[in-house]
Amino acid sequence: MKQDARKRITIDHVARRAGVSKTTVSRYLNGHYEALAEQTLKRIQEAIIALDYRPNRMASGLKRDRSHLIGIVVADITNPFSTAILRGAEDVCKRHGYSLMVCNTDNDPAKEREYIFMLQAQRIDGLIINTTGQNNEFLHQLAAEHTPVVLVDRKVPELGFDTVGVDNEQATAEAVHYLVEQGYERIAFFSEPIDGISSRMERLISFQNVLRRYGHCSVSDIYEIDLRSEKQLEKKLDAFVHSSQDQSRVLFAANGVILLQLILELRKKGLQIPEDISVLGFDDLDWAPVVGPGITTIAQPTYEIGVTAMERVLQRLEGDDTPARQISLSGQLIVRGSTPSSSKPDGNGSSATTKSI
C-alpha cells in the first residue's frame, strides 16, 4: 500500500551489516566505548556511515522516558523581549542536544492550558514558561512528574519553581530616581493590565516607592491599558496630558509594547518628544536610538534570561534538587535624548550614556 517499500534504516540493519547484535550497536550509540573492542567499534562506525543511519528518538525516548524536547511557552512570540529569550534558550538547548518546542499563548490562559497539555503529551523533559498565572494546577502536575519547570519574567511564589528575570525593583528604582533628578514634576506610569503579573506589579510598586520617598506628587499617575480595546490608550494618555498642562512631564512605559504604542499615539497627537513630553521605556528595543531624539530605556538582559533559564532546566535534569532559586539579572539604564533635564529643556542630543544598575 505504501508508496515506498524500502523501510527506514534501523539499528537492526546496522547490527546486521556490522555483524554484531543490536545491543552492541546501542552501546556504541550511547558512548559506552569502554565496553567495545576496537574492531567492532570500527565496524559499527562504518556500517552507520554506509547506511546513513539516524537513531530514532521516538523509540529511544519511549524506552528511556526522555524526549530530548524542551517546551518554551511565551506570551507573544512577535515581541522582541520573547524572541531574545528564545534565542538564549535555543543556543543552550542546541549545545546540549535538546530541541525547543515553541508555544505562543497571547496571554490567554485557555491557550496556555492547551499547550501545557500538548507538551505533556510529547513528554517534554523540561519547560520554560512566561505564564499567565492561571494554570498553576497543571504546572504543578508537570513538576510532580519530575519535569523541571522554570518561570521567566513572571514569578508565581506559590508554585515554588525556579525563576529568572530582570531585577524589576532595582531597574525601575534607578530609572524613576533618574527622572526625579531630571526635575520632572509629573511622571506617569503606563502599563498593560497589572492583573497578578509579578513583573508588572514589581515595576509599579518600585515606581511608587521611589516617588513616595521623594514626596513626589505623581504617586497616583498610574495608567493601566488594555491594548485590545481600541481607544483606551488614547483616552488615558489624553487624561494625563491634560492634567499635566504646563508642567514638566514624562511617560514611564512599563514595557516595550506599551512604549511603542505611546510613541505612536504621541505622534498622532502631534506631540513632540521631548519638547512637549518626555519618554522613558522598559526594554531597550533596537529602534530606540533612532526615534525622535533617541529614547531613554532600561535594557533587560533578555538573552541572558533565556540562557539562564535553560541552564536551570538542564541542571534540574541532571539531578540538582536544591531549593528553588529566584534569579534576578540586573538591567541597565540607557540615557538618550528623550528625557532631558527639565530645567534646561535641551540636552544630550543623540549621545547615549549607559549606567549599570
Partner DNA sequence: TTGTATGCGTTATCAA
Partner DNA sequence: TTGATAACGCATACAA
Q: Is 37 in the site for its own copies (CB under 8 A)?
A: no
88 within 8 A of 49, measured Cβ to Cβ: no
* 230-249 positions binding its own copies, by CB under 8 A: none
In the chain the first and final C-alpha atoms are separated, in Å, by 66
> Should residue 328 be labelled a site residue for DNA when binding is judged by CB under 7 A?
no
CB of 240 to its own copies, least distance (A): 19
CA distance 40 to 138: 48
Q: Which of 46, 50, 59, 239 binds DNA (CB under 7 A)?
A: 59
Q: Are 338 and 353 in contact (CB under 8 A)?
A: no
User: In DSSP terms, which residues pair with 334 in a beta bridge?
Assistant: 297, 354
Binding mask 108-147 for its own copies (x = CB under 8 A): ---x--xx-xxxxxxx-----------------x---xx-
Residue found under cell 530530548: 68
For residues 297 and 288, what is the distance between their CA atoms, to the nearest angstrom? 8
**H/E stretch holding 217:** none
Does residue 20 interact with DNA by CB under 7 A? yes
The nearer residue to DNA, 42 or 268, going by C-beta atoms, is 42
Of the two residues 24 and 132, which places its CB atom closer to DNA in the complex? 24
Where does this chain touch its own copies (CB under 8 A) — which range of 13-21, 98-106, 149-157, 165-173? 98-106
**Residue 264 engages its own copies in binding (rule: CB under 8 A):** yes
> Of these partners, its own copies, DNA, none, which one is at the site of residue 33 (CB under 5 to 8 Å by kind)?
none
Residues 144/86, Cβ–Cβ less than 8 Å: no
For 307-335, the DSSP string reads HHHHHHHHHHHTT--SPP-EEEE--EEEE
Strands 186-191 and 162-166: unpaired
Q: Helix axis angle, 11-18 relative to 38-51, nearest 10°? A: 130
- Give yes or no for residue 62 binding DNA (CB under 7 A): yes
* 141 counts as binding DNA under rule CB under 7 A: no
Helix (H, G, I), strand (E, B) or coil at 282: strand
Nearer Cβ to DNA (49/344) = 49
Instruction: Tell me the C-alpha distance between 252 and 207, whole Å.
Output: 9
Asked if residue 17 binds DNA (CB under 7 A), the reply is: no
Binding footprint of DNA on the chain (CB under 7 A) = 7-8, 10-12, 19-24, 26-27, 29-30, 34-37, 39-41, 54-56, 59-60, 62-65
User: What are the residues binding its own copies (CB under 8 A)?
Assistant: 3-4, 8, 52, 54-59, 61-62, 67-69, 77-78, 80, 83-84, 86-87, 90-91, 94, 97, 99-104, 111, 114-115, 117-123, 141, 145-146, 260, 263-264, 267-268, 285-287, 289-292, 350
